[in-house]
Amino acid sequence: MIETAEHRETPPLARAGTLVELEGLTVDYGHGERVTRAVDGVNFVIRAGEVVGVAGESGCGKTTLANSIMQVLRPPAHVSGGRVLFRGENLLEKKPGELRKFRWRNVSMVFQSAMNALNPVMRVGDQFVDMMRAHERVSRSGALRRAEELLDLVGIDPRRVRAYPHELSGGMRQRVIIAMALALQPELVIMDEPTTALDVVVQREILQQVRALQRELDFAVLFITHDLSLLIEFAHRIAVMYAGEIVEEAPARQLHREPRHPYTVGLMQSFPPLTGPVVRMTGIPGSPPDLSSPPAGCRFHPRCPHCDPGDPQLYARQTTERPLLREVAADHRVACHLVEDRGR
């Protein structure tokens, strides 16, 4: 049986400054018998001006989550339950025309391979002009001037508005996309693995710039990546996803100091450190489940080191009952049977 949002604890009521609120968001791929539930009853809040990270492995639903906020899910994916509220308005009820205005103006998005999304036969500046004039009444020269300012902001020589995409390196093209995403001063920028295809040095340069811009312009960022150690450095708050669910959510430093979910702990032990003694690490045994037939009970239980048939009572709960997200400390929520037991 699949639980619906009603069975979950609802997050604290929208606090002041709540920008996006997901309420029991459920996204399916396909219909009927062959349905794959990529996001399953997720409750999540993005506050204005904060950098929120979503970490997880491939297939955990993190990109689907991002796409549903931007409302760019493509069939066979569709929202089959819950609501996506942006400043209190349900995006799922908006008409296509309204959504077109909403995208880029309110929420913009940078994809992993976004640097390949630039039109190869158009100068960079003209692509800015097209985008801006689709949303605003602005003259061509005005839009070009704005494009120059934006390029300067992300560390590219403003004269490069006249460049074609192939004249720029991968890192520069990714910066161009980030500049475009900021052009209409959206309140939220979604970044889905924006630096994964880039070298570490370029990655760090870009993240430094995004953070500086974020402080200056005060937009919120939803940052999606498989790289938990990067998020701990970059985000204010982190949600860890596993098999379509959020299994832990906490302020970044708190998560680093005191991860509570065995999956989060396992993920942290999957990144060898750069300092300190070199010790053998274990990672996590097994691999993530196939979402067309997820394990019953806690979805992590087949890989969990604390799931032991020796304790029949706990084992029965772990294998049949889905754990709820519960607050274990201020702003720190965990979905794990072990944590519930100890917490009482």
Binding residues (CB under 8 A) for another protein: these are 57-58, 155, 169, 199-205, 208-209, 226-230, 232-234, 256, 266-267, 269-276, 278, 280-285, 287-288
Strand-pair partners of 42: 25
In the bound complex, what is the minimum distance in angstroms from residue 199's beta carbon to another protein? 4
User: Rounded distance, CA 45 to CA 58, Å?
Assistant: 22
Shortest distance (Å) from residue 55 CB to another protein = 9
Instruction: Tell me the closest approach of the beta carbon of residue 90 to another protein, in angstroms.
Output: 34
Give long-range contacts, CB 8 A cutoff, 24+ apart: 167-170: 168/124, 170/115, 170/197, 170/198, 170/202
Give per-residue burial for 81-118: e unless 16+ CB within 10 Å, then b. Answer: bbbbbbeeeebeebeeeeeeebbbebbbbbbbebbeeb
Closer residue to another protein, CB minimum distance, 138 or 202:
202
Closest to another protein by CB, 1 vs 201, is: 201
* Complex with another protein: residue 97 or 277, whichever CB lies closer: 277
User: Closer to another protein at the Cβ: 39 or 267?
Assistant: 267
Do residues 39 and 27 make contact, with C-beta atoms less than 8 angstroms apart?
A: yes
C-beta of residue 49 within 8 angstroms of C-beta of residue 255? no
Residue tagged 């004269």 (tokens): 159
**For the chain, where are the alpha helices, taking DSSP H only?**
62-70, 96-105, 124-135, 140-153, 170-182, 200-217, 228-234, 252-257, 262-268, 312-320, 337-343
Q: Which two tokens stand for residue 170?
A: 């991968």
User: In the complex, what is the shortest distance from the CB of residue 60 to another protein, in angstroms, rounded to a whole number?
Assistant: 9
Minimum distance from residue 189 beta carbon to another protein (Å): 20
Instruction: Kindly tell me which of 171 and 186 has the beta carbon lying closer to another protein.
Output: 171
For the CB of residue 113, give the shortest distance to another protein in the complex, in Å. Answer: 15
Please say which residue, 141 or 282, places its beta carbon nearer to another protein.
282
Q: Find residue 44's DSSP bridge partners.
A: 22
